[in-house]
Amino acid sequence: MNMWEDDEPITLDDTLWDRIAEITNGAATACFQCGTCTAICPWGQVRGEAINVRKLIRRSQLGLAGGNGAADPWLCTTCGYCEALCPRGVDIPGVIHSLRQDAWRRNAVPKGLPSLLWDVHWDGNPWGQPPSQRFAWGRGLDLETYGPEHEVLLYVGCSASYDRRLQKVARALVDIFRNAGVSFGVLGEDEPCCGESVLAVGNDEYLDEIIASNTALFQKIGARTVVTLSPHCFDIFDTRYNVGEDFRPVHYSQFLAELAGEGRLPAMGLESLVVTYQDPCYLGRRHGIYEEPRLTLESIEGVELREMDDNREQGLCCGGGGGRMFMETPAEERFALLRVKQAAATGAEVLATACPACLACLDDGLKVAGNDNLRVMDIAEIVQMALVKTPEAAVAGANR
């Protein structure tokens, strides 16, 4: 007798099927169960055994949620590596998002996630930080509130507003914009949460409310070009918001490339710095922005860029996406640990990235790994350093 004969058979429930098919928008139906997703999911690398994404997709094809040996949909960092390699082009993160949505309706979400929604609701950020401290990052910088006279709105986002390490990135961007003569404004204490964390954990009902109120705000202040610090904020503005024709969200790495193209970035130089670059999933795989950040790094005199084993389309996720920032991951199961080792193997002094989630996760990974020869920096910080620290080099570069 086969093992399975002991199990009670699953009875297909047409209503359940309809609901899953509706919320996944049919995304899972095209899957023919090759299992590429299971084979390449980075969780398999850190856990030493494959996480069965294939089975999760099969269950959702049948109108079933996770369970029974299928991958846990809450593990997913939505890095999109599986989707990039899927031969049927199945939107696997989309299916997982739908399953999370379904979990909210069934009141079956992991502990701690409901309080995240309350934090966004009461404090305007998912970290539960006081709204009064939102603009702490800009203290002493003499920043202007965004108005119609400004070329761009600098949208800093929740992480960089509160996290001390990430605040430096926001300040670096200010420095760069001023050096490049960009007229810009900020929203200061009134800057709202974009809602990406709510999207990531799959509560689309609440997300709709956030988007509606933010859309009204952007329309009121006449936001046009919005430069975000985080690829996640950029992604949600770009894909979920419908503010108006003039509304143009860009990630700062794109914006720096635009400035360079217009000849507005001053020449930059450093004595010598070996850098490797971590592709943030929401810039790279999600929006195909692989080259702009690299061009910015390479345009700095003295910087040598070395690639890690997994790069661009095959880039390894930091582990912080898909709401994983708000869930606990045991230290030995963090992707960042692998990534830091890959970075060290290139012989780079700096592991650069362009995303606050990557920066935070990789910094943590570096602490666990313990490596005095490597630093984690944001591209904005490297550019700032190249502008400010060695004016001689900058002048030399400009004269060339």
Positions touching other proteins (CB under 8 A) are 2, 4-5, 7-12, 14, 17, 21, 26, 29-30, 32-33, 54-55, 58-59, 61-62, 68-69, 88
Task: Kindly list the strands in the beta sheet with 301-306, ordered across the sheet, starting from the edge strand earlier in the chain.
Answer: 301-306, 269-277, 350-353, 375-378
Cα of first residue to Cα of last residue in the chain, in angstroms, is: 80
Closer Cβ to other proteins, 68 or 239, answer by number: 68
CA-to-CA distance for 38 and 33, rounded, in angstroms? 10
Least Å distance between CB 16 and other proteins?
Answer: 12
Least Å distance between CB 241 and other proteins?
Answer: 28
CA-to-CA distance for 150 and 146, rounded, in angstroms? 6
For residue 228, give the 3-state DSSP assignment. strand
Least Å distance between CB 103 and other proteins?
Answer: 20
Tokens at 203, concatenated: 């509560």
Please list the residues that pair with 251 across neighbouring strands: 228
Closer Cβ to other proteins, 32 or 328, answer by number: 32
Task: Kindly list the strands in the beta sheet with 152-155, ordered across the sheet, starting from the edge strand earlier in the chain.
Answer: 184-185, 152-155, 225-228, 248-251
Closer Cβ to other proteins, 68 or 145, answer by number: 68
Tokens at 302, concatenated: 């003295």
Closer Cβ to other proteins, 21 or 217, answer by number: 21
Closer Cβ to other proteins, 55 or 285, answer by number: 55
Closer Cβ to other proteins, 34 or 216, answer by number: 34
Closer Cβ to other proteins, 16 or 217, answer by number: 16
Closer Cβ to other proteins, 59 or 97, answer by number: 59
Q: Which residue has the tokens 């990534």?
A: 339
CA-to-CA distance for 252 and 221, rounded, in angstroms? 21
Least Å distance between CB 9 and other proteins?
Answer: 4
CA-to-CA distance for 215 and 241, rounded, in angstroms? 7
User: Are the C-beta atoms of 213 and 189 separated by less than 8 Å?
Assistant: no
Least Å distance between CB 84 and other proteins?
Answer: 19
CA-to-CA distance for 316 and 19, rounded, in angstroms? 33
Least Å distance between CB 110 and other proteins?
Answer: 24
Least Å distance between CB 88 and other proteins?
Answer: 8
279: nearest Cα among 234, 238, 310:
310
CA-to-CA distance for 396 and 400, rounded, in angstroms? 6
For residue 153, give the 3-state DSSP assignment. strand
Q: Which residue has the tokens 């926001």?
A: 170
Least Å distance between CB 64 and other proteins?
Answer: 9
Least Å distance between CB 28 and other proteins?
Answer: 10
Closer Cβ to other proteins, 14 or 262, answer by number: 14
Name the amino acid, one letter, at 80: G
User: Are the C-beta atoms of 225 and 153 separated by less than 8 Å?
Assistant: yes
> How open is the CA angle 166-168-170, to the nearest 5 degrees?
80
Least Å distance between CB 310 and other proteins?
Answer: 29
CA-to-CA distance for 396 and 399, rounded, in angstroms? 5
